[in-house]
Amino acid sequence: MTARETTLESDELPLPIKDLTPIITEDMSDSASFDEVVELLVQSGRSLPHAVLMMIPEAWERSTAMSAERRDFYRYHAALMEPWTDPRR
């Protein structure tokens, strides 16, 4: 997330992004950091399910049972953010 902070933008947020950084508070647990990113995504206009699916996508790349619409959702969002692992790496 630190690497993405300089490219973030949203007309939905009540404050400029620069006033909200750092997005992830240093020395917080992984769960707390996850919550901070989910909150940012929801406050910027995404629904809670949408935000979570962005952060923890299904195994979509090789799925033969997934609809094209769902696969396109994951492909699009993969270009915006990497799947959640350790937020500080």
Mean pLDDT (10-residue bins), the chain, 89 residues: 80 84 89 92 94 92 92 92 68
Domain that holds residue 46: 5-78
The answer to the question of residue 34 being in a domain is: yes
On whether residue 27 sits in a domain, the answer given is yes
Please give the structure tokens belonging to residue 66: 């997934």
Answer yes or no: is 86 within a domain.
no
Establish if 30 belongs to a structural domain.
yes
What pTM was estimated for this model as a whole?
Answer: 0.80
Give the chain's length.
89
Contact 74, 60 (CB under 8 A): yes
Is 39 exposed, middle or buried, given 0-12, 13-18 or 19+ CB atoms closer than 10 A? middle
Residue 88 lies in a domain: no
